[in-house]
Amino acid sequence: MRSRAAAVLLAALATAFAWLLLRAESQGAIAALIALAVLAGFALLRTRLLDAFTRAALRDERLAQWLAFAAVAVLALLLPEDDFSLLLLTRVLIVIVACLGLNVQLGYAGVVNFAGASFFGVGGYTAAVLSRATGLPHLLLLLAGGVTAALAGTVLLLPILRTRGHYAALITIAFALLFRTFLEVNDSLGGPQGLKLPELRIGPIRFNDPVAAGPLEGSFYLKYVVLALLVLAFFFAVVQRLERSWIGLALDAVRIDETAAATFGLDIARWKIAAFVIGNFVIGVAGALSAFMIGFIAPNNYSFAESLILVSILLLGGVGNPWGLSLAAAIVILLPEKLQIIQEYRFLMFASMVVLILLFRPAGLVPRPMRRLPGTPR
Amino acid sequence: MSAPILACRGLSKRFGGVLALDGLDLEVQPGSVLGLIGPNGSGKTTFFNVLTGLFPADAGESRFAGEPITRLRPQAVYRAGIARTFQRSRLCLPLSIFENLMVGNHQRLEHGLWFNLARRKALARQIADSFEAARALLRIFDPPLADRMQEPAGRIPMIDRRRVEVCRALISRPRLLLLDEPSAGMTHDETVRLMDDILLVQRELGDLTIVLIEHEMSVIERVTARCVVLNYGRKIAEGTYAEVSQDAAVRQAYLGVE
Cβ-Cβ contacts under 8 Å between A and B: the total is 103
User: How many angstroms away from the CA of A19 is the closest CA of chain B?
Assistant: 35
| Collapsed DSSP state (helix, strand, coil) of residue B88 | coil
Chain-centre distance of CA B22, in angstroms?
Answer: 22
User: What local confidence, expressed as pLDDT, does residue B99 receive?
Assistant: 96
Report CA torsion sign: B133, B135, B137, B140.
negative
Picking from A190, A116, A177, A106, the residue whose alpha carbon sits closest to that of residue A149 is A116
* Closest CB from B95, B124, B172 relative to A375: B124
Contact A253 B92 (CB under 8 A): yes
Contacts with B95 from chain A: Cβ below 8 Å: 249, 252-253, 256, 371
Report chain B residues whose CB lies below 8 A from the CB of A377. 131, 150
Contact A353, A311 (CB under 8 A): no
B37/A contact by beta carbon, under 8 A: no
pLDDT of amino acid A255? 94
Nearest residue in B to A363, CA atom: B94
What is the three-state SS of B100-121?
A: HHHHHCHHHCCCCHHHHHHCHH
Q: Is the pLDDT of residue B1 over 60?
A: no
**pLDDT for res B251:** 83
Residues of B in contact with A266 (CB under 8 A): 75, 103, 106
Distance CA B229, CA B35 (A): 8
CA B194, CA B147: separation in Å to the nearest integer?
A: 18
CA distance to partner chain B, nearest, from residue A162 (Å): 16
- Residue of A249, A255, A266 to mutate, testing the B interface (most B Cβ within 10 Å of its Cβ): A249
Q: Are A286 and A158 in contact (CB under 8 A)?
A: no
Do B109 and A262 count as a contact with CB atoms less than 8 A apart? no
Nearest Cα to B100, choosing from A253, A116, A159? A253
Question: Within an 8 Å CB–CB cutoff, is residue A378 touching chain B?
Answer: no
**Gyration radius from chain B CA atoms:** 19
pLDDT of residue B222: 87
Preferred mutation among B45, B51, B54, B92 to probe A, highest tally of A CBs within 10 A: B92
pLDDT tens, position by position, B98-144:
999 999 998 889 999 999 999 999 999 999 999 999 999 999 888 99
| CA distances, A145 to each of A105, A127, A289, B146 (Å) | 18, 6, 9, 47
Give the DSSP H or E segment for B34.
strand B33-37
B11-43 burial: b if 16+ Cβ within 10 Å, else e: bbbeeeeebbbbebebbbbebbbbbbbbbeebb
Q: Give pLDDT tens digits along chain A (378 positions).
A: 667 787 888 889 889 999 999 888 888 899 999 999 989 888 888 888 877 777 777 778 888 899 999 999 999 988 888 889 999 999 999 999 999 999 999 999 999 999 999 999 999 999 999 999 988 999 999 999 999 999 999 988 888 888 777 888 899 999 999 999 999 998 888 888 889 998 888 888 888 878 777 777 788 888 899 999 999 999 999 999 999 999 999 999 999 999 899 999 999 999 999 999 999 999 999 999 999 999 999 999 999 989 999 999 999 999 999 999 999 999 999 988 888 887 788 888 888 888 999 898 888 988 898 898 998 887
- Specify the pLDDT at position A307: 94
The answer to whether the beta carbons of residues B34 and B226 sit under 8 Å apart is yes
ipTM of the complex as predicted: 0.89
Window from A67-76, A115-124, B54-63, B181-190 with minimum mean pLDDT: B181-190
3-state secondary structure of B235: strand
Share above pLDDT 70 across residues of chain B, in percent, rounded to a whole number: 98
| Closest CB from B75, B111, B123 relative to A262 | B75
State the average pLDDT for chain A.
Answer: 90
B111 vs A247: CB contact, 8 Å cut-off?
yes
Among A259, A263, A278, most B C-beta atoms within 10 A, so best to mutate, is A263
Residues 6+ apart with CB under 8 A from B167: B101, B104, B134, B137, B138, B141
- B-facing residues of A in 142-181 (CB < 8 A) are none
B158-170 helix and B120-141 helix, angle to the nearest 10 degrees: 120
- Dihedral over alpha carbons A157, A158, A164, A166 (to 10 degrees): -70
What per-residue confidence (pLDDT) applies to B258? 54
Q: Which of residues 183-242 of A touch B (CB under 8 A)?
A: 238, 241-242
Averaged pLDDT, B23-27: 91
Neighbours of A374 (CB within 10 A): 15
